[in-house]
Every structure is written in structure tokens, then in C-alpha cells.
Chains A and B, each alone.
Chain A
Amino acid sequence: MEWDYFLNEVVANRDALLHGAAITFAVSLIAILAGTVLGIVIGIAVTYGGKPLRWPARLYIDIIRGTPVLVLVLATFYVSSAVGLNLNAFQAGALALTLFCASHVSEILRGALQSLSRGQIEAGRAIGLTFGGIFRYILFPQALRYALPTWITAAVEMVKASTLLSVIGVAELLLTTQQIISNNFLNMQFYLLAGVIYFLIDFAIEQVGRFIGRRLDQPTRRAV
């Protein structure tokens, strides 16, 4: 009886649930992609930049990483409207998560880059590569390999952090679930369902990460 009621409710709310999951997925994907790009730029600045680049980058990383994500989300939402930047809740939320993701990615990248020997940079310079070439062909491919496992963890964290956007009214999966529950009072069932959906999204990210990892581990040419 109870089971039938639950299934009926799931079917009745399927559009809302799918929409919520899609919002969660979209905002996480934006944060991960944009945050990774921004994080790479900041990571390079903090690792190889001169003082005028390194200092602001360091400051950015420390401030953002030292702030609770919830505070970051609220601050982005309310500050952006106060300064006349008219972002809706989704945009503000995506921006907050992007900034948060970038600070983590830049620290991950810095750690990976610093583990590479300086001698490789010198060898690259000695054959006439510019810094851009050295980064692209020598440093980045190796850093990627070291950083990938931690990067996947960070990406999964973004999906979990996206639940915080419910407080500024983004109808992502958690808020949608709460709204459904307020109508049918199936607390346990619908929170479990939301948990399963979050797990599936994170599981998919980890699988993609593993796939990239396997691709990277293949030698540049066949090893004998």
C-alpha cells in the first residue's frame, strides 16, 4: 500500500524530479568546467607567475578556500544584486560554485606542478621551447596525470555543494525533493530517492574520470 503510494507519487512528480536533477547536473557541470579553466589559469599564476601575478592569485585561493561554501553562495547572491549585477539565483549559484571550484583546482594543479623536477623546464628551454610550449607539452600532461584523482574528488564535491543552492531558491534536486515531500510527507522515501540520484551523478563522474585516467596512462607510443 505504502509502496504503491510512493510509486504513484514518483510518477506524479517525475517531471519536477527530472527537472531538479537536470538543474543539479547543469549547475555542477558549469561549475566544474568553468572552475577548472579558471583554476588552471590561477594555478599557473600562483606556481610560475611573478610577484604581481602570484600575490593576487594566492590571496584569491586562500580567501575562497577559507570561506564556507554556503557563505559564498549567499554572498554571491546578495552582493551581486547590491552592486547592480542582476544575476538570477541560478546564475549567482553557478558563479559561487565556479569560484569555489577554481580555488580547489588551482591548489590541486599547483601541487602537481611543484612535484615535477625543475630540470625538465631547463631541458625544455635548452631545446628552444618557450614557456607556453614547455607547459603544454612537458608540464601539463604530467601534472594532469598526478592531479586527476584529486580533481575527480573535487568534481564530486561540486555536485554535493550544489545542494546549498536550495537556500537561495534554485530549484535543484534537493529543493525539488523538499517541495514534493511537503505535499506528500514521504520523508524517508523521497530523501532516499534523492540520495540515489546524487549517487548516480557522482558515480558517472568517477567513471568518466577513470576512463580519462586510463587514456592518460597509455604510453605516448607503444612501449616494448
Chain B
Amino acid sequence: MTPIVEVRDLHKRFGELEVLKGIDFTVAEGEVVSIIGASGSGKTTLLRCLNLLEEFHQGDVLIGGEAIGYHLRRGQRVRIGEREVARQRAMTGMVFQAFNLFPHMSALDNVTLGLTKVRGMPRPQAIELADHWLDRVGMLERRDHRPSQLSGGQQQRVAIARAIAMSPKVMLFDEATSALDPERVGEVLETIRSLAQEGMTMVLVTHEMRFARDVSDKVVFMEDGRIAEQGPPQRLFLNPDSPRLQAFLKTSSF
């Protein structure tokens, strides 16, 4: 079966600095993959390559079997046009560390914007779908609130609804709870967990080790732009092979 996400020999540079040095990994349908590692190991950059918020310089990213961002024309690697890239981006949904809701719109309009303007859905139908997902993340009662009237945890749950309502093939979470007050982390993790249990394919960059261990099917440990170790969470957390992962786990809180 075609994996939902396939990354082959991915390289990425910021100027002279190579931050991704040949990444290979796959995500199967319904799989939940957590990417862990120290700050600066390249995990967020890797995630952002999956929906082309970052350009990459070598290798392939395939979403649902389709090569993202670049194609070969007469042997040359060519960037795909912006309109086409926009369509490809909509195959993934992303949740950001800083929520990034549109502040001038209600929670409901944050969710319907992509449905009406990208999917071309009629507004009544978009509202119905948005209500369904806002209800699902427990935010239906506050659908008419602006982001400034919501707590961080509530904003992040709206952001999750905004991304998932577009029915992406895979959801990408970029440190979705890092910017939250400690007492708000639980409600967001609970939302993510329940979506995972329903079979949503997910890639999470996270510092929540306990959550990564409990929810993931696979854990990817990154170190200096490479995948140092990957496998089922039981093995990685209980019997890490590499000394670097052993050291990393020692310094991480559970």
C-alpha cells in the first residue's frame, strides 16, 4: 500500500548551513508518528518541508504518492507553480505552535475560510461542516468568538478544527502545546489523542515525551539533521540503541 507520507533522502540548507542531511521515513495510513529531538536538530524544519512552508534542496517528499513542490523537467529539478503548490499544501493540515488564527474573524469563519475559498464549498455546507468539527473539539459554543476572546488552549482547538475540516490526508502538529499555559496543555493533548484514536494520520513534533510514548505508533529521534533512531515507542523509550538518545531521554521530563 502507498504510504501517506514518504520522505526520501531529504536535504535542506539555510544558506551554508545544512539542517537536514538526508532524511528517509514513511508514514502509513492511520499511523501516528512523533518526531523528537533536541532544539536545533531539524525536526520542525522537517515537518515544514512536508507542506512546503520550507523549500528543500534535494530528495523527495511524497504525500499520497504525489511528489510535492518539485518535479523533473528534462532532467532538471523544477519548482512547481504556486497555484499547484497551494493545492498540494491543502493535502496536509498544519497546527502551529503559536495557533496563528486569523484575528479579524470569528472561530467559525477561521474554519470556513479554507472550505469556501479553497475547496469552493457553498457557505451553508461549509458552516455545517465547520460546526461539526468545532463541536468535535469542544468549541461549538464559542464559534462566534474572536481569537482574542479565547484562551490559548481554546484557540489551539479552533486551529485544529480549521486544519482538519479541510479533510487532509495527514495532520502535522508543530509543537502544538509548547506555547500553552501548563493547565491548558491537557485539553489540547486530549483533542489530539482522540483524533489519533479515530484513525487520523498524524506527524507530531513534540516535547511531550509521555504523550509521544502513549499515542505514537512510531517515534523518530532526530539528531543534528539526521534520523538517529526510529521505531516503536516502547523500544525507543525503554531500550534506546544510540547513546545520544539515551542521553536525550535522561534530560527530558516525562
Instruction: Evaluate whether A119 and B53 lie within 8 angstroms (CB atoms) in the complex, with A127-B166, A128-B90 already known.
Output: no
* Residues of chain A with a CB closer than 8 A to B90's CB: 127-128
Q: List 22 A-B contacts (CB under 8 A).
A: A117-B98, A117-B100, A123-B94, A123-B102, A123-B162, A125-B86, A125-B89, A126-B51, A126-B53, A127-B166, A128-B86, A128-B87, A129-B86, A129-B114, A130-B83, A133-B118, A141-B104, A142-B103, A219-B146, A221-B106, A222-B144, A223-B145
| Mask of A98-140 contacts with B, CB within 8 angstroms, 1/0 | 0000000000000000000101101111111111010001100
* Residues of chain B with a CB closer than 8 A to A122's CB: 53, 94, 96, 100
Residues of B at the A interface (CB closer than 8 Å) are: 51-53, 82-83, 86-87, 89-90, 92-94, 96, 98-106, 108-109, 113-114, 117-118, 142, 144-146, 149, 159, 162-163, 166
* Residues of chain A with a CB closer than 8 A to B117's CB: 129, 133, 137
Q: Judge whether B96 and A223 touch: CB under 8 Å.
A: no
* Residues of chain B with a CB closer than 8 A to A222's CB: 144
Instruction: Give 10 closest A-B pairs by Cβ, nearest first.
Output: A128-B90, A127-B114, A119-B100, A123-B100, A126-B94, A128-B118, A130-B86, A221-B106, A128-B89, A142-B104
Number of A-B contacts (CB under 8 A): 89
The size class of the interface chain A forms with chain B is: 20 to 34
Rounded to whole angstroms, the CA-CA distance of A123 and B97 in the bound complex is 11
* Residues of chain A with a CB closer than 8 A to B104's CB: 141-142, 145, 220
Any chain B CB within 8 A of the CB of A224?
Answer: yes
* Residues of chain A with a CB closer than 8 A to B103's CB: 120, 142
Rounded to whole angstroms, the CA-CA distance of A122 and B104 in the bound complex is 16
* Residues of chain B with a CB closer than 8 A to A145's CB: 104
Rounded to whole angstroms, the CA-CA distance of A65 and B146 in the bound complex is 38
Instruction: Evaluate whether A127 and B162 lie within 8 angstroms (CB atoms) in the complex, with A137-B113, A221-B109 already known.
Output: yes
* Residues of chain B with a CB closer than 8 A to A219's CB: 106, 144, 146
User: From residue B1, how far is it (CB to closest CB) to chain A in Å?
Assistant: 25
Q: Judge whether A223 and B114 touch: CB under 8 Å.
A: no
Q: Which of A127, A131, A221 has the most CB of B within 10 A?
A: A127
Chain A, Cβ-Cβ closest to B107: A221
Chain A, Cβ-Cβ closest to B82: A130
* Residues of chain B with a CB closer than 8 A to A129's CB: 86, 113-114, 117-118
Rounded to whole angstroms, the CA-CA distance of A122 and B159 in the bound complex is 13
